[in-house]
Amino acid sequence: MRLISFFALSTAILSCNSYAEEINIAVAANFTAPMKEIAVMYEKETGNKVLASFGGTGSFYAQIKNNAPYQILFAADAKTPKKIVDEGLGLKGTNKPYAFGKLVLWSSTPNFVKESPDFIEAEEVKKIAVANPKLAPYGEAAYQTMQSWGLLDKVKTKFVTGDNIGKTYQFVKTGNANVGFVALSQVYKNGKLTGGSGWILPTNLYKPIRQDVVVLNNAKDNKIVADFLKYVENNPKVKELIQSYGYALN
């Protein structure tokens, strides 16, 4: 009986594995932590594998134009997914928001950041990390915030610029910049900052950071890709997880 049971179990495992599918996705750097958790949850529940690459939305767009094998792009903005659809690289009607990001002025040093616009002019703030506004939505939001304060031109000499929000965060984390304008999701979980000190900036200082997803052409009629998107969009646990990193859902 033991041999029969073992054989039946082995057959069942092989059968499950033979039906396992892989999903190849590109994910904006600011959404790294949530997506890693979402992928683990999805893999445990379905047996399918999520192959995720993390980086700048602009870089992913260039790769997609050069036939990168991604099936889904979780972008840091709404413009890039729309452009992908308009250029015939993505499936019409699949570009829609999955999260709305928030901006935080953050330092890896505890009790350093002061909740005042004048703080970034202070003598103790030598370097300010900002993402390139032409490439990164969070960089654009940072520029809009400083323009709202009337301080952009006054503090530009302090800027340390990253190509994307991931690099910008690293500048601050490693101390190469005293403070930086980064994505809240990079330093926040379950209602509090995960380290250092920061000021969650009022959202009326910058345009909404709408982050859209888009399905790429090589995933047309792919049921597993469609299933994964439904999982991200409709699963209450996923929605709760995304919000725990400081994102809004609408």
Q: Check whether residue 189 and residue 218 sit in a common domain.
A: no
Q: How many domains are contained in the chain?
A: 2
> Could you report the per-residue pLDDT of 16-36, keeping only the tens digit for each?
444 679 999 999 999 999 999
* 79 CB-near residues (< 8 Å, 6+ apart): none
Q: Check whether residue 133 and residue 184 sit in a common domain.
A: yes
Q: Check whether residue 7 and residue 67 sit in a common domain.
A: yes
Q: What is the mean pLDDT of residues 158-165?
A: 95
pTM of the model: 0.88
Q: Check whether residue 7 and residue 81 sit in a common domain.
A: yes
Q: What is the pLDDT of residue 19?
A: 63
> Could you report the per-residue pLDDT of 177-206, keeping only the tens digit for each?
999 999 999 999 999 999 999 999 999 999
Mean residue pLDDT across the chain: 93
Q: Check whether residue 6 and residue 43 sit in a common domain.
A: yes
Q: Are 197 and 109 in contact (CB under 8 A)?
A: yes
Q: Check whether residue 67 and residue 149 sit in a common domain.
A: no
Q: What is the pLDDT of residue 12?
A: 44
Q: Check whether residue 232 and residue 185 sit in a common domain.
A: no
Domain range spanning residue 53?
A: 2-100+209-244
Q: What is the mean pLDDT of residues 44-68?
A: 96
Residue 61 in any domain: the answer is yes
Model confidence at 11, pLDDT cuts 50, 70, 90, reads very low
Q: Check whether residue 130 and residue 216 sit in a common domain.
A: no
Q: What is the pLDDT of residue 93?
A: 95
> What's 141's domain CATH number?
3.40.190.10
> Could you report the per-residue pLDDT of 205-247, keeping only the tens digit for each?
999 999 999 999 999 999 999 999 999 999 999 999 999 999 9
Report DSSP state, residue 90: B
Q: Check whether residue 72 and residue 117 sit in a common domain.
A: no
Residue 249 in any domain: the answer is no
Residue 9 in any domain: the answer is yes
Residue 173 in any domain: the answer is yes
Q: Check whether residue 96 and residue 109 sit in a common domain.
A: no
Report DSSP state, residue 124: T
Q: What is the pLDDT of residue 20?
A: 73
Q: Check whether residue 161 and residue 182 sit in a common domain.
A: yes
Q: Where are the alpha helices (DSSP H) in the chain?
A: 2-18, 32-46, 57-65, 79-86, 137-149, 152-155, 165-173, 223-234, 236-244
Q: Check whether residue 32 and residue 155 sit in a common domain.
A: no
